[in-house]
Amino acid sequence: MAGIYLHIPFCKHKCTYCDFTSFPNRLNFAEAYMACLYKEIEMRGKELKDKTFDTVYFGGGTPSVIDPDYIYGAMKKIKQCLNLSKRPEITIEMNPGTVSAEKIAIYKRAGVNRFSIGLQTAIDEQLENLGRIHNVRDYLFCTSLLKGENFSTDIMLGLKGQSKEDVRKTVEIAAGSSAKHISMYALTPEDGTPIYTDYLNGELPEADEVAELYDYGRALLSEKGYERYEVSNFAKKGFESKHNLNYWRRGEYIGFGISASSFMNGRRFTNTLNLDEYIKCILSGFLPVIDNAPVEGDDAKFEFLMLALRTCEGVSAEKYRTAFGSDWKEDFEGAYRKTKEFLEEDGDTTRLKDEYLYVQNGILTEYMN
């Protein structure tokens, strides 16, 4: 499997927790930026002519903030320059404050068949605190336009003043809107973002309180028929995100646009994070890559394990052997011994026990040495 990621870095407003590459004041650059994005797809076309891509993902930023014809144009360019499989999964991220029936109709004409919507919380006061431009009513309007479609809803934990009751209400609204997939993330207060001040002032829930909210949310999601398949991702049967599964299975992907990263032919590379530099590079006929390095040896093995252990699929000894020609338990003998109590074995497969998935980062550090 292989995927395509396109980064649309524009937003209406910067959220208080956001440290993504996104610009709230530069929508006037959308035309120039999208022209460069199309050019970048063309520039990569030749070297990717032997690959077939199974997924396309428009992420951001807020892809739904720009004119939907740009999304249509990007899909047209992809179809001209790259090979898509017969029935690719094509996802667009949408902010509920930026949607309309017309936009959705154009996305669908472009081939989009999966929508990812940032609800975050069903408590308006918390949305305001996050600096989101939408309220719960906007989310309900947005999902009413997506009746019968395959869509995913993002929800966040660890918000200021968030109670179990708030989580219950949020899960109820997300599930009640017929989302086929729900991502439930813990807020990470990044240094330099406005919400970091709340964190320093002790106004955000402590890690163990967030873990409790997570357990509570997980149980509710399970009751409503969402099966967890990765630490933060839950889906109705058959509606797992193919695009994200490809990342965790260490599949190849190509990223277009600023800050987009790629993994191709054993190398990881990243585009510049600077909008002006991106445009200048493309207009001068250069790819805007700033980092490009092979992932080999122990790094590749660690990456394989780290990604696989995030998922409920776990590590397949056979797949590891096929990739690296060795036994993972021998390669990581010390770490395996130390973490054995957190793992469960099922034939050829080893996975983290359900109750330890949420704290996997701490466990996986053992494998770094």
Q: Which of 6, 8, 11, 221 binds ligand SF4 (CB under 6 A)?
A: 11
Q: Please, are residues 60 and 93 in contact by the beta-carbon 8 Å criterion?
A: yes
- If one asks whether residue 254 binds ligand SF4 (CB under 6 A), the answer comes out as no
CB of 210 to ligand SF4, least distance (A): 18
- If one asks whether residue 175 binds ligand SF4 (CB under 6 A), the answer comes out as no
Q: What is the dihedral of CA 224, 228, 233, 236, to 10 degrees?
A: -50
Nearer to ligand SF4 among residue 60 and residue 88 (C-beta): 60
Binding span for ligand SF4 by CB under 6 A among 17-25, 178-186, 206-214, 288-296: 17-25
Binders of ligand SF4 among 204-223, rule CB under 6 A?
A: none
- If one asks whether residue 18 binds ligand SF4 (CB under 6 A), the answer comes out as yes
Binding span for ligand SF4 by CB under 6 A among 11-19, 136-144, 333-341, 342-350: 11-19
Nearer to ligand SF4 among residue 61 and residue 314 (C-beta): 61
Binding span for ligand SF4 by CB under 6 A among 60-68, 98-106, 233-241, 286-294: 60-68
CB of 209 to ligand SF4, least distance (A): 22
CB of 15 to ligand SF4, least distance (A): 3
- If one asks whether residue 94 binds ligand SF4 (CB under 6 A), the answer comes out as no
How far apart CA 168 and CA 172 sit, in angstroms, is 6
Nearer to ligand SF4 among residue 62 and residue 162 (C-beta): 62
- If one asks whether residue 185 binds ligand SF4 (CB under 6 A), the answer comes out as no
- If one asks whether residue 158 binds ligand SF4 (CB under 6 A), the answer comes out as no
- If one asks whether residue 37 binds ligand SF4 (CB under 6 A), the answer comes out as no
- If one asks whether residue 61 binds ligand SF4 (CB under 6 A), the answer comes out as yes
- If one asks whether residue 99 binds ligand SF4 (CB under 6 A), the answer comes out as no
- If one asks whether residue 59 binds ligand SF4 (CB under 6 A), the answer comes out as no
- If one asks whether residue 275 binds ligand SF4 (CB under 6 A), the answer comes out as no
Residues in contact with ligand SF4 by the rule CB under 6 A: 11, 14-15, 18, 20, 22, 60-62, 95
